[in-house]
Amino acid sequence: MPESEKNSEFTWGHARRFNAYPDYFRKLFGARVQKVSIDAGFTCPNRDGTKGAGGCTYCNNDAFNPSYCIPEKSVSRQIEEGIAFHKKRYRKAGSYLAYFQAYSNTYAPVEILKSLYEEALRYPGIIGLIIGTRPDCIDDDKLALLKDISQHYYLSVEYGIESCYDKTLKRINRGHSFEDAVNTVTATAKLGLKTGAHFIFGLPGETRDEMLAEAEIISGLQLVTVKFHQLQIIKDTAMETEYRDNPTDFHLFTWEDYLDFIIKFLERLNPAIVVERFTGEAPPRFLTERVWGKKRTDQIVSLIEKRLEELDSWQGKYY
């Protein structure tokens, strides 16, 4: 009998072959919970000159924001429209998390952050916050505010880390080091706050082995959730020019190659870490080319699970 079939459940408490985000949420809340994205009008220190200018070389934030997120609209209005949008697609969702997604959502004085977060939490049906930000965009006062909110609501801080290698972070103009990210994640987790992180595979100059080795490094971070994306070349970014000039410096995955890579990566990843995404999907109008054809996120997850099944493998098999 294959080893995995000896128990109908893995260490994460269900039979899926990876520690999946929707199941983590269901276990936590006992029901489906949907995220509602918000663009609260923050900017980014890597764009306004505080940390750097021009931003990360791959960044065109518009490509990652849902259409109902327009900073001119109040937080409450965006939540209202976001909930209406989701109700059409997922009738079952009754509770929502406000996802402060665009740019760096801790990049403002504490009083402003407090008022924006509280506005979201006052909206009926909102049971918590997910706050996306940079590892260098948080301090003790902001962490104290988040800690305070987390005593009464679900709260997760999601850091864009992108790569474990400083040579890459430098090259993509992130404006922070990997050590900055480690220190921030550690300080956040030390307060008992839930931590999430985002990583990109295929950044220029990284070899496949280096990317695979990140599984071990990420496994050692105090993270509750992770999101992974394959690199996509987004129109009107500095990276688009770089890619055009030096395509051989990039490891842009084909779907078959990525499937093989992500399985190997998953086998090496700490099984305690919840995986929220394996891929990202910028709308086609932002992409220079559509490398994978039309594949929906749910199809991609099914294909990954199917391959794990075929190989009788699972997250953390070789961790």
CA distance linking residue 183 with residue 196, whole number of Å: 14
Query: Under the phi-then-psi rule, with left for phi > 0, alpha for psi from -120 to 50, and beta for the rest, what region is 21?
Result: alpha
Contact between 44 and ligand SF4 by CB under 6 A: the answer reads yes
Contact between 103 and ligand SF4 by CB under 6 A: the answer reads yes
* Interface segment toward ligand SF4; rule CB under 6 A; list 39-47, 183-191, 192-200, 294-302: 39-47
Reduced to 3 states (helix: H, G, I; strand: E, B; else coil), residue 127 is strand
The CB-of-237 to ligand SF4 minimum distance in angstroms stands at 10
* Interface segment toward ligand SF4; rule CB under 6 A; list 43-51, 224-232, 239-247, 283-291: 43-51
Contact between 56 and ligand SF4 by CB under 6 A: the answer reads yes
Torsion of CA 137, 141, 146, 151, to 10 degrees: 160
Contact between 75 and ligand SF4 by CB under 6 A: the answer reads no
Positive or negative: CA dihedral 221, 211, 215, 233: positive
Report the residue closest to ligand SF4, judged by CB.
55
Q: Which of residues 136-165 bind ligand SF4 (CB under 6 A)?
A: 160
Reduced to 3 states (helix: H, G, I; strand: E, B; else coil), residue 144 is helix
Contact between 198 and ligand SF4 by CB under 6 A: the answer reads no
Locus of tokens 């990109």: 200
Residue number with CB closer to ligand SF4 (48 or 305): 48
Contact between 55 and ligand SF4 by CB under 6 A: the answer reads yes
Contact between 59 and ligand SF4 by CB under 6 A: the answer reads yes
Task: Determine the residue type at 228.
Answer: F
Residue number with CB closer to ligand SF4 (134 or 194): 134
Task: Determine the residue type at 162.
Answer: E
Residue number with CB closer to ligand SF4 (55 or 316): 55
Closest by CA to 199, choosing from 187, 211, 210, 188, is 211
Contact between 243 and ligand SF4 by CB under 6 A: the answer reads no
Burial (0-12, 13-18, 19+ Cβ within 10 Å), 99: buried
Task: Determine the residue type at 307.
Answer: R
The CB-of-216 to ligand SF4 minimum distance in angstroms stands at 25
**Binding site residues, ligand SF4, CB under 6 A:** 44, 46-47, 55-56, 59, 61, 103-104, 134, 160
